[in-house]
Amino acid sequence: MDPIDKHSPDVIAFFDVDGALTAPRLTATKQMIDFLAELRNNVIIGIVGGSDLRKQKEQLGENVLDMFDYTFSENGLVAYRGK
């Protein structure tokens, strides 16, 4: 998604996965997923985590790359831009 399409393109919200979006090493709740989807309608969002993409998909869903504008895996060593 192009940041220009956001209501507040000057705001970027990044979240850690373990301990912030999910309990450590567990899956995100539906409430959290819904909140992130709503937030993404208004600002640029991304995640940063120590795990690899496979684990992030287990925790946040197989479509994790579509859920966020930016996804950083392996402590930021691997980066993905969302759709």
Indicate which residues carry an active-site annotation.
16, 18
Q: Is residue 10 marked as binding? A: no
Q: Is residue 25 marked as binding? A: yes
Closest CA to 67 of 25, 39, 26: 39
> Which residues have CB under 8 Å from 80's CB, separation 6+?
53, 65, 70, 71, 72, 73
Closest CA to 63 of 49, 45, 82: 82
| Whether the Cβ atoms of residue 46 and residue 71 lie closer than 8 Å to each other | yes
Residues annotated within the binding site are 16, 18, 25
